[in-house]
Structure 1
Amino acid sequence: MNTTSGRRLTAAALTVVALATATTACSSGGSTSAKSDDGTYTVWDPYPQFAKDSAWVKLLDGCGSKAGVKIKRTAFDTSDLTNKALLAAQQDNSPDVLIVDNPVVSTLAEAGVLTTTDDNKVDTSKVEPNLLAAGQSDGKTYGTPIGANTLALYYNKDVLKAAGVDIAAIKDWPSLTAALDKVKKAGKKGITFSAIGTEEGSFQFLPWFWGSGAKLTRLDSQQGVSALSLWTGWLKKGYAPNSVINNTQTTSWQEFASGDYAFAENGTWQLANAEKAGFDYGVLPIPGASGGNAAAPTGGEFVTVPVQGDTGRYATAQKLVSCLTSADNLYNTDTTLSYVAPTSVVRDKQVAADAKLKPWAEAVTSARGRTSGDLGTKYPKISEQLWKAVQSALSGAKSPQDALATAQSAVK
């Protein structure tokens, strides 16, 4: 573990990852100074939507009191937080606790910004392995998830009933496509999703890509081509609108909220909006090509402990992390953030309190980190080529095979 001040970051870290996430907000501003010798410990988070009187900030302060210290909290926009964390590390001015979007963990870890859980003694034994993997690199773990969100299929029960579709019969791609055909013939619209040329587009395509059995290390495999062919086929047959090429997850949701669509691929963060939609809805985990639940990408943040020149601060930082991610606090925090808990005990408690979370719990159990499998800082380049391939195929510029072959060549 490198504890020298004024560390020199890796080249990969200096090219900061620009990853779009489900939650967006503006920076809250404020001081970014992370050092104090008056018993104050600093926490940086990506939740500027939470004000000083919010339950989140009260939790931070409560964990500080329990550890015998004061908390100085600064909130940033997600993308801005990564920049600030890298700059602070260069100046040996990192916060004591850093809560960061999970795909960025590998970038900060490779840069030498974060301590491992072996070093900081944070206990991750109860965290689901598939969720913890998003914060692992080269066999080491760099934090613990505070919660997870992912993707599934929302469906409009009235539209499906009118089309004579039994949701229980949808178990794989053929049965889903057959349902879309029935919906179209009934005069309604099939499915909407986001295929925009950004990380959001890759994020939404990944369940289908992984659900085919494809791997991100081989974009142009037969399985990957089948996934992109599924999407292009839906557009050609009118099961999905051409607007998906420019849709963000927000505009895609707005289409579904019109009440004309049978399905929408979207995330847990739309649950509150679903309750306001004005029609009866359900949620179905995204099916794999031949059945079962496809692996959807995990969203959500990791609680990490950055490297400090003063290693004596780690013991208190560990207490803060343990408090923030305790079973009781995870339940309350994940409910506030519309996250599914990363541990089975808390997740079961969530489902017991709200049965509508059951399909989301199933989806999270099958989910996969975008940087898992030691992709780490390779993922952003792969993702960029993937969304370009999706755009190229859906626009008709290239066949799915040619689009993914071009993407694979660019990654190499």
Structure 2
Amino acid sequence: MHASRARRSGALVITAGLAFGLSACAISADGASSGSGDDQTLTFWSYYQGTQADWLQKQADVFEKNNPGVTVDIVETVGDQQDQKLLASVATGDTPDLFINNIVVDYPTLVAGGVTADLTEYWEGFADKDQFAESAAWSTDDKVYNLLPFTNLIGLYYNQDILTEVGIDAPPTTLDELQADLEAVKAHGQYQGIALSGAPTVEGAWLFAPELLGLGIDYCNFEGPEVEAAFQRAETWAKAGYTPQATATWDQNDSWQQFATGDYAFGINGNWQLGNAAEASFAWGTTQYPAPAGGESIVYPGGEGFGIGANSDKKDLAWKFLEEAVLTPEAGESIFEIAGSIPVRADVAELPAIKENVAVQPFVAAAQTSGSWPKNENTANIQKALGEAVSSVISGQTTAADASATAIADIAAAIEDGGGGCS
């Protein structure tokens, strides 16, 4: 399961008490949109479910109210089918006016397939674009095609009760500090170290990659002694028992369930778990992903991209929807409150709903410095190559030296298989 889609499911968990269905206004069945001949009807393909779907419908209702005569027709689609449906729509000349997409995986394919409209002129003319981190505007050949206004990120959760008992004064801010704390927890003898996903999938890769991102090493330049050093750290933690061998198969939900038992001092997970954390029976807190020595805390962003269909004959109206219903501070605050996603807009961090939530602040900070994903049609396999290598070290099947060499070679091969482009 791709990290973005895993996070989407996670966002539903933290708001389980909210309504799960969509409102009835302007919803079509999966397929052709209604009102496609009406110049004031915007067709929006979306695979959002639950609270995210509720948020999108709310934004559409407000937009319609503020723009009399305009209808936003939300067409319900299936997430793992939307990529192919969008590509097929180009051949028929019937791309939707607006759509969301699993940006980490789908973006390169959709751009190469001619699905997405060039948003450069709109984005450059957008008065508030400076409020967004650079990673919010996805571009190819200096042309903007997709926007990521909201995101989901990972950070470090800690069990304050355990830290206090063990004698750890403050949560770690670096990987070296985290390793020292893990040593202290093991020496204490009563608790487990860290719960994280080490699965041989994109999830395991997503949690491991920040150990190198903070040093300026991403999938596009994945090589050097720092790579082997990161794998050696994973090997050290596994052999010492800081990360149980079972971690090699845990996904993000598995690792959260383990942290929630109260037996683990630390857990790496995402902002979508904040609602679950509030129900914990122990004192807890959050901090940013620990930075590597000599580097920064940088993680990859996840979430949905927003685009305009290349064949849309209502691009100006579609952009007006994005500008008024998606990119505003109010939209950012709303999706945080309803679905738990983190707005990328810098000024939204100052809104009371977010500023007064201490636990979410590390994730808000991470959104402003998040890394850039590779723009390659084979992005999923690029990540999987890393996840498999990391999992093999945690499980004890491969040495750090062999796993790092394999990861370097397999990532390079996956990039080549995807056309050779990366950034």
Shift of 1:120: 5.0
1:46 aligns with 2:50: no
Runs of 5+ consecutive residues of structure 2 not aligned to the other structure: 13-19, 23-27, 414-423
> Aligned residues: percent identity?
25
- Cα deviation for residue 195 of structure 1 reads 1.4
Q: Summarize deviations over 1:273-329 as a string: whole Å, max 9, x none.
A: 010122111001112221664211101222211111x53x11111111112222222
Distance 1:271 1:245 in 2: 24
Is the CA contact 1:171–1:292 (under 8 Å) kept in the aligned structure 2? Answer: no
> 1:208 pairs with 208, 211, 217, which one?
211
SS at match of 2:368: helix
Are residue 195 (structure 1) and residue 198 (structure 2) matched? yes
Q: Counterpart amino acid of 1:33?
A: A
How far apart, CA to CA, are the structure 1 residues paired with 2:275 and 2:319? 33
Cα 1:51–1:105, aligned 2, differ >3 Å: closer, same or farther?
closer
> What residue number does 1:318 align with?
319
* Partner in structure 2 of residue 290 of structure 1: 293
SS in 2 for 1:203: helix
* Aligned residues of 2:238 and 2:245 also touching (Cα < 8 A): yes
Alignment-derived partner of residue 167 in structure 2: 164
- Return the match for 2:348 from 346, 349, 355: 346
Question: How far apart, in 1, do the equivalents of 2:405 and 2:139 lie?
Answer: 29
Tell whether 2:257 aligns with 1:248: no
Structure 1: tracts of 5 or more residues without a match? 1-16
What is the CA–CA distance in structure 2 between the aligned matches of 1:195 and 1:384, rounded to whole Å?
12
For 1:156 and 1:322, locate their aligned partners in 2 and report how far apart those are by CA, in whole Å. Answer: 41
1:333 aligned residue (325, 332, 335)? 335
Deviations along 1:351-401, one digit per CA (max 9) or x if unpaired, are 324232221122222211323xxx433533321211121122222232222
Note the alpha carbon deviations across 1:39-75, whole angstroms, 9 max, x for none. Answer: 42211223122498x3431221221343331121123
Q: What SS class does the counterpart of residue 95 from structure 1 fall into?
A: coil
- Residues 248 and 51 of structure 1: CA distance in aligned 2, closer, same or farther (over 3 Å): closer
Q: Could you tell which deviates more after superposition, 283-292 or 235-244? A: 283-292
User: Structure 2 counterpart of 1:196, which letter?
Assistant: A
Are positions 1:395 and 2:380 aligned together? no
Contact 1:34 1:96 in 2 (8 A): no
Measured in 2, the distance between the counterparts of 1:280 and 1:377 equals 43
Superposed, which structure 2 residues align to 1:39-118 within 5 Å?
A: 39-50=40-51, 54-67=54-67, 68-103=69-104, 104-118=106-120
- Is the contact made by 1:293 and 1:363 (CA closer than 8 Å) also made in structure 2? no
186-195 vs 321-330, which moves further: 321-330
> Does the Cα contact within 8 Å between 1:211 and 1:287 map onto a contact in 2?
no
Question: How many matched pairs?
Answer: 388
More divergent stretch after superposition (17-26 vs 375-384): 17-26
Q: Quick one: which amino acid aligns to residue 32 of structure 1?
A: G
Q: Secondary structure at the match of 2:268?
A: strand
Query: How far did 1:77 drift?
Result: 4.2
Q: Give deviations 1:190-246, integer Å, cap 9, x for gaps.
A: 001111122111111111232354332343421111112212211110111111111
Tell me what 1:11 maps to. Answer: none
Q: How far apart, in 1, do the equivalents of 2:3 and 2:51 lie?
A: 23
Cα 1:55–1:281 change in 2 (3 A) is same
Q: Which TM-score applies when normalising by structure 1?
A: 0.86
RMSD: 2.6
Change (3 A) 1:167 1:76: farther
